[in-house]
Amino acid sequence: MDATVRELTDFTVHVLDSMVRPEFPAEAVLEFLRPALDAPTAAFQRTQLASGASDNVADGLGPDASAAFVERSKSHWRQNPLMAAAARGELAPTTAERAIGGQRLWRSSPEREFLVDVAGCDQIASVLLQGGPEEICGVIFGRFGADFTDAQLALLSTIQPLLQALERHAQAMERWSQALAVPIHEAEASVHDSELSARQVEVLALLAEGLTATAMAHRLDCSPRTVHKHVDNLYRKLGVKDRLTAVLEGQRRGLLPRR
């Protein structure tokens, strides 16, 4: 158990520190979880229920199958037991077989037939990042044969808060990029040239807002002690010693908008 916790923690820290673009790190997450769940196929999917707009990042699926899944999500999401549950706000990791009410109902489901025909799998499990009547966002895993086990669902339950934190982090990066006075590709270049992690750029933006360490800790969902460590590393990389100089240096480098 200790080894598993260390592995998950190391994975999460690595992904957070290496994120540059304001996107959920789908490929890294899928690559990590597929072997643990014995799932040959997996996808990160985001669907707007009102408009039907849907996009995904797939691993283990060809482009035709990925496109078929997106189209299916637009028109048949109510028939998909996992998507229907997510729309009701039921975020606990589960499988299609369990969500629909058992093996008999799942085996006669059109969604199962679709999975077999398109993806060569007949069992799916999901871990959700967001649910509700407007948008569904989550990671889906597929395989053929036996349904996913209680232990595998427990793993997804354990890792779900970490994945949701990654999604919040990506959204925070998106807000930061939209607030910049420079185009996003120039902002990314500035981040790269400054050798700052995404978390350090976020800390810099919060410094510019004038937040205290306690307030920043609440915003970042961490401890004030961790915030001070981020600030110290940020100052070191920028070559400054105080908040005002850090903000001015961030503006000079194009990391913050000039007010």
Please list the alpha-helical segments (H only) found in 195-223.
Answer: 198-208, 213-220
pLDDT at 184 over 50: no
- Mean of the per-residue pLDDT values for the chain? 83
Question: 60-74, 117-131, 181-195: which range is least confident on average?
Answer: 181-195
Domain membership of residue 146 (yes or no) is yes
pLDDT in tens, 14-29: 666 666 566 888 888 8
CATH of the domain at 9: 3.30.450.40
Query: Would you say residue 48 lies in a domain?
Result: yes
pLDDT for 98 equals 96
Categorize the per-residue pLDDT at 187 as very low, low, confident or very high, splitting at 50, 70 and 90: very low
Residue 102 contacts residue 96 (beta carbons within 8 Å): no
> Are 40 and 112 part of one and the same domain?
yes
| Residue 175 belongs to a domain | no
* Same domain flag for 76 and 190: no
45 forms beta bridges with 56, 138
In a domain, 257, yes or no: no
Query: Are 161 and 59 part of one and the same domain?
Result: yes
Pairwise CA distance, residues 67 & 62, whole Å: 9
pLDDT at position 104:
95
Tokens standing for residue 236:
């070191």
pLDDT in tens, 35-89: 989 999 999 999 888 887 888 888 887 778 788 877 877 777 888 999 999 999 9
% residues pLDDT > 90 (the chain): 31
Check pLDDT > 80 for residue 172.
no
* Structural domain for 213, as ranges: 180-252
Indicate whether 6 and 130 sit together in one domain.
yes
Contact status, residue 123 vs residue 148, Cβ threshold 8 Å? yes
- Do 160 and 197 lie in one domain? The reply is no
Same domain, 110 and 138: yes
Number of domains into which the chain is organized: 2
Pick from 10, 181, 116: which is nearest to 18 by CA?
Answer: 10
Are residues 121 and 185 located together in one domain of the fold?
no
Question: Could you tell me which residue, 202 or 184, shows the higher pLDDT?
Answer: 202
- The answer to whether 44 touches 212, Cβ cutoff 8 Å, is no
Return the top range by mean pLDDT from 131-140, 200-209, 246-255.
131-140
